[in-house]
Each structure stands twice: as structure tokens, then as C-alpha cells.
Amino acid sequence: MIDVRGLRKEYGTFVAVDGLSFTVDEGEIFGIVGPNGAGKTTTLKMISTLIKPTEGRILVAGFDTGADEVEVKKRLGFLPEESPLYENMTVEDYLSFFSELYGIESNDAHLRIDKLLSMLNLPDNGNRIGNFSKGMKRKVVIARSLLNDPEVLIYDEPTSGLDPMTSKQIIDFIHGLKKERKTVIFSAHNLYQVEKICDRLIIMKNGKAVAIGTVDEIRERWGEQNYFVEFKSDKLPEGVVWDENGHFKIKCSGNREMNDVTRFVIENRGELIRITPHESTLEEIFISVVE
């Protein structure tokens, strides 16, 4: 559905994106993560045809973003991180206005708007958008991105600045778009959300891809198998912490360190309580990779 090859974007002497290549399959949710300045937003804007690459090629549903810009836009819904609204309008009037811009027939527009208001739990009570909470305004922009029933949705930080409950509602909604075979590519700083809903992801740093794959593939390549050893003992090894259960606990990196700690406890007549395996989280892997 999306094919990015050798993508590069220069601003003078600054290289924002450098030789980026990846694909996104139809119906896939694909995440782009990285520290600030990694090139995430620049990449999304190039896919959305808002800015042109210095080098490289992007195909969306088989259409080239350079040669077939109009055809690409017909198939896209884009949600920027910052998206001003016409706050004096009601949500229904706002969505009707954009339906006209998309050239959607009046009856079809009415049906789509009603469906989107229901799907996103948006009020249809004549209240002006300016009176909405930040989370409700974000839902309005998401509704706008879906008006033309696009095949591909590109969301830049869809839950930025929202409270946990609203963030969860939006992430659950995005996840639910898989049922409609929508292809979603989005950037996010919340790695828990990325780990929860993404089929695959790419980690960017300084405009380049440093890791790509499923969460499990990235964990296998970059993660560590750690262990938490919980015990009682009068003599303590280095790195021990006091556990809330009234025992001592130490984090061990790998089997060898775990074996060394357990041997230390036994030799010093301590008592082993439990050994708990711990796989690296996406956040731990992310910090390790970008550092």
C-alpha cells in the first residue's frame, strides 16, 4: 500500500531524512517512533504530498506522490500534530463544509457524518467547536480525516497532549480501523500505545532507520532477557534494592548474572523467594537504540 524508497529531505545543509526505505501493507498499522528531530513528521508530510523529497520515491496505493499527487490525495486522510479548527462552527457544519470541499454528494455526506459522530462519540447538539475540550477537538479532526473514506490514514501524534482516558479512546478507535481494512501510519511518543496496536514499526534517529520490524522482531534483535531475583539474606550482593514485600531484589542481565546472584545467596545461607523473567519493553529498547 505504501512503498518508500531511498527517501531523503534536505533543508540547505541540514538533512532531515536520510536514505529512508520501508513498506506498509494494506490493512496494517505502522508506527514511526524516534526522538525529537528524528525526521518523523518530515517523513509523514512527504508521504502526504505536503512537501517534496529531495531524493527518493514514494508510492501510495500504486501512485507516485510526485507524478500522481492528486490521485494520492484522493486516497489519503491526514491528521497533523497541530490542526486549527473553525471554532465558531458546530461540528456538523464543520464536517459538512469539508464534505463539500471533497465533492461528496449531500446525501452521502449526511450519512458519513452521522456515522462518524456515532463512532467517535461526538455530540450533535449545536454546540460550537470552540467550547469543546482538547480531546473532543482532536476527535473532530479525526472525523474530518475520514470523511472521504480514505484507504490510507496518516496521523502525526494523534494523542499529543490528551488525558489518558481520551488517549485510550482514540488509540482504541485507530486500532478498530483495521476491521475496515484501513492502512494507518502514525508517529507517537507514547511507546506503550505503539507496542499495543502496531503490526510493525520503525525507529528513527537523525533521519535514518535504526530498527524496523514487529515488536517481537525488534525485541529479539535489540532487547535483553533479564531476571529479577527476590531473596532474604544477611549478606547482600551489589545492586540490591529493598522490595515492597519486605525482601531484597536485584535485577540480573542474562543467565550468567542470575546464576552468580543465586549462588551468592545460597552460599551465604540466604533464602531464594522467586526468580522472575523480564523481557525488555519497547521503551527500554528505544532508549538503548537511540543512545
Q: What is the pLDDT of residue 160?
A: 86
Query: Residue 115 in contact with residue 85, Cβ under 8 Å?
Result: no
pLDDT above 70 (res 245): no
Q: How far apart are CA 195 and CA 200, in angstroms?
A: 9
DSSP labels, 208-220: EEEEEE-HHHHHH
DSSP class of residue 90 equals: B
Pick from 201, 259, 264, 207: nearest CA to 232 = 264
Residue 120 in grid coordinates: 467517535
User: What residue ranges define each of the domains in the chain, with the CATH number in brackets?
Assistant: 2-220 (3.40.50.300), 225-290 (no CATH)
Does residue 132 sit in helix, strand or coil? coil
Lowest-pLDDT range, 15-24, 26-35, 51-60, 186-195? 186-195
pLDDT above 70 (res 256): yes
H helices within the chain, ranges in order?
40-47, 69-74, 91-102, 106-119, 134-146, 164-176, 191-197, 215-222, 254-267, 282-290
pTM here is 0.82
Tens of pLDDT along 180-231? 899 999 999 999 899 989 999 999 999 999 999 999 899 888 887 788 888 8
Q: What is the pLDDT of residue 251?
A: 84
pLDDT above 80 (res 238): no
Query: Residue 45 in contact with residue 51, Cβ under 8 Å?
Result: yes
pLDDT above 70 (res 242): no
pLDDT above 90 (res 21): yes
